[in-house]
Every structure is written in structure tokens, then in C-alpha cells.
Structure 1
Amino acid sequence: MPAAFRVYSLSDTAIVIDWGNTIDEAINHQVQALFQCFQQEKKDFIRDVIPA
């Protein structure tokens, strides 16, 4: 089952997708999979993606 996450605005040009403060291999896989999706999309409005 995917871990719960929150999406919120950081500024008028940035969002944060937050999985919380738990260190977990399954969450890391979700973060990396979403990062790869954003990297492959190549949309003009996506300037940078930082998995952290």
C-alpha cells in the first residue's frame, strides 16, 4: 500500500510533496518513482525536481 503524502504550495511557482519524517524503503521507492515520472514528462512548466 502506498504511503500517505501531502501536497502543498511552497510559493507561487513551487510545490512540496511531503511523505513526512519516516525513513522507510517503500517511501523512498515512491519518491524515486515519482521523480522518474517528472523527469520523463519534460513539461515546460516543470523547471526543477528535487527528491529529498
Structure 2
Amino acid sequence: MQSQVGWGIALAVIGAVVALIIPICGLPIIAVGVALLIWRGREDTIEEIKE
């Protein structure tokens, strides 16, 4: 598991827990976690195209 995936999942889970308590603070954390997961997929696609 790449570190981006680990951080993305961790931030999404932490953001979900925080969102239950303070929604305004939790949503940006979830957004960052999901963005890391999406960016990882794009990075793999770009590397395949280069090769």
C-alpha cells in the first residue's frame, strides 16, 4: 500500500469522525483524504502513458 493511499484513507476516516462532532471542521479533512486517493489513481495512469 502506497503512503498516499494510507494517508488518504486515514484522513477520510478521521474527517468522518470529526464531522460527527463538528461538521464544519470535518468536511475539509474528508475532502483532502479523498483528493489524495483520486490523485494517486491519476498518477498511476500518467506513469503508464509515459512508458
TM over 0.5: no
TM-score of the superposed pair, with normalisation by structure 1: 0.40
Relative to total residues, which structure has the larger helix share, 1 or 2? 2
Relative to total residues, which structure has the larger strand share, 1 or 2? 1
Higher relative contact order (CA 8 A, sep 6+): 2
